[in-house]
Amino acid sequence: MPASFSTIAKDAERCYALLKAIVAYSVLTVTWHVRRFRKMVCADASASGEHRMSRRAVAGVLLCVLATSSQAAPQTFNTALPVAKGEFVLREQLFSRRAKGGPRGANRDLHARGIVSVLGRGVARNLAVFGVLPYLDTTLDFTAPGGRLRRNTAGIGDARLFGRYTFHRRDAQGRTFRIAAFFGVEMPTGDNDKRDSLGRLPAPLQPGSGSWDPFSGIVLTYQTLEYQIDAQASYKINTTANDFEFGDETRLDVSFQYRLRPRVLNDSGVPGYLYGVLEASVRNRAKNKADGRRDPNSGGTSVFLSPGIQYVTKRWIVEGIIEIPLAQDLGGTALEDDYIVRVGFRVNF
């Protein structure tokens, strides 16, 4: 087992240990809050001669509980992550990506895996800031005239910092609608001069790009007690470093999260909620440039459909999703994705 992958495994073990501690804390916390609200509502009902709460009243109580708790959210993009004023949200996500293709006879096989850490802070009711830091371990196997060869690199990737400002918010009983803009920059924190026995690794295999790349976009969220819809449109401008420039990126994403369990809201003190997730994404990248010349074997458009699941409690969430390519119209011999798997957790504190 490569040393870099051992590091990832150790991080996963730490995440699991943290999850066990969070589970114990969250179950106690959620149970206490639900019982507290149940007593309050039942007391009001008894005073008015009503011995059964209506579904509407229960929904109102649960909405109050969830107003300051974790919520379902997209898994393939981070711009819609919910975080309340004065709180933090931490997401740790393991991923594994496989891609194949290339020139005839080369039989290129790319396996990229790693951890993406996201930390967000609710600065104000309508303003949140986020930092994203990936750790990447990438292996490329291919056939050369001398036989089968492997090139591998591992290390911290380029970090992202961005802010999100909610400029439109409309709240109603049992639902809310928000529109926010986000602006940020991807910084060259990753190494972009990695080498192996064959020499300097090509730019797409480097952990970092070496460039400062601004991005911006808009994100919409519509949330009810049963389901949530998030959508984003974003654009990233990639600049030049070491005479190489990745193509600019455009993304359109949508995420639908539907509560599967419990199907009916009541006052039974349920410690968590199970959500089914379905996401879709259209991603376009312009062609890369090397020494000012466009690379015909790069760029293109891909369409992904991603089914997933989330288990949501008051303070933590466990989640998993698989990104499946439906269509890929790529330049020349660019590698085509087979799949991308993501699993992880989120904590609000």
All domains of the chain, ordered by start, with CATH? 3-348 (2.40.128.130)
Specify the 3-state DSSP secondary structure of 205: helix
Q: Measure the CA–CA gap between 195 and 213, rounded to whole angstroms.
A: 24
Question: Could you check whether the bond before residue 207 is cis, i.e. omega within 30 degrees of 0?
Answer: no
Beta bridge partner(s), residue 230: 221, 255
Contact 241, 210 (CB under 8 A): yes
User: Any idea which residue has 């376009």 for tokens?
Assistant: 284
Residues 6 or more apart in contact with residue 171 via CB below 8 angstroms: none
Other CB atoms within 10 Å distance of the CB of residue 315: 19
- Kindly give the residue spans of alpha helices, DSSP state H, lying in the chain: 3-47, 55-66
Output the pLDDT for position 26.
Answer: 43
Using the Cα atoms of residue 164, residue 170, residue 174 and residue 175 in order, give the sign of their dihedral.
negative
Sheet holding 244-245, edge to edge: 244-245, 289-290, 293-294
Side chain identity, residue 39: K
Contact 280, 302 (CB under 8 A): no
Taking only the tens of pLDDT, the chain with its 349 residues reads: 444 445 445 544 554 454 444 444 444 444 444 454 445 444 444 444 444 444 444 444 444 444 445 789 999 999 999 999 999 999 999 999 999 988 887 899 999 999 999 999 999 999 999 999 999 999 999 999 889 999 999 999 999 999 999 999 999 998 999 999 999 999 999 999 999 989 999 999 999 999 999 999 999 999 998 999 999 999 999 999 999 999 999 999 999 999 999 887 766 666 789 999 999 999 999 999 999 999 999 999 999 999 999 999 988 999 999 999 999 999 999 999 999 999 999 999 9
Phi, psi (rounded to 5 degrees) for 129 = -125, 150
Q: What token pair was written down for 312?
A: 């949501």
Q: What's the pTM value of the predicted model, to 2 decimals? A: 0.80
